[in-house]
Amino acid sequence: MGPAYISAVRANIPDATLVFDHFHIIKLFNEKLTKLRHDLQREAENGLGKPVLKGIRWLLLKNLTTWMTSAMNVNVWTKH
**Can you give the residue ranges of every domain in the chain?**
3-77
Q: Is residue 80 scored above 50 in pLDDT?
A: no
Query: In angstroms, rounded to a whole number, what is the distance separating the alpha carbons of residues 38 and 43?
Result: 9
Q: Is residue 1 scored above 90 in pLDDT?
A: no
Query: In angstroms, rounded to a whole number, what is the distance separating the alpha carbons of residues 36 and 33?
Result: 5
Query: In angstroms, rounded to a whole number, what is the distance separating the alpha carbons of residues 32 and 78?
Result: 38
Nearest to 62 by CA among 22, 39, 33: 33
Query: In angstroms, rounded to a whole number, what is the distance separating the alpha carbons of residues 36 and 38?
Result: 5
pLDDT tens track for 58-74: 777 777 677 666 666 65
Element (H, E) at 66: helix 64-72
